[in-house]
Amino acid sequence: MASAVLGRLLGLSAVRSGPRSPLSPSAAPGRTVTPSRTAVCSSSGAILPKPKKTPFGLFRIALVVIPFLYVGTQISKSFAALLEEHDIFVPEDDDDDD
């Protein structure tokens, strides 16, 4: 309800100042406009349809993240072994039992 009232007020102010594209640069210098959908109703008052929901979103994320984490771990492990083999980086075994 509040968004419908706000939409009407903004619609009336747009009629007075002339139509403006939401993606056009504003008159104020240094001000940028980023497009986003925060409205739930159109200017005529009709309720917009629900946004498209991606099914299995969390499952798909896990399906991509887990294999790449595993591959990254294996690459890091083999590179650390290569560095140690060529004595480029060998951690010192300090006895801190004092």
Q: How confident is the model at residue 65 (pLDDT cuts 50, 70, 90)?
A: very high
d(CA 51, CA 87): 56
The confidence score (pLDDT) of residue 15 equals 46
CB 38 within 8 A of CB 6: no
d(CA 50, CA 52): 6
DSSP string, 71-90: HHHHHHHHHHHHHHHTTSS-
d(CA 36, CA 42): 14
Give per-residue pLDDT as tens, 10-64: 665 544 444 555 555 555 566 676 666 677 888 888 998 988 887 888 999 999 9
d(CA 5, CA 25): 25
The confidence score (pLDDT) of residue 40 equals 84
Query: What is the length of the chain?
Result: 98
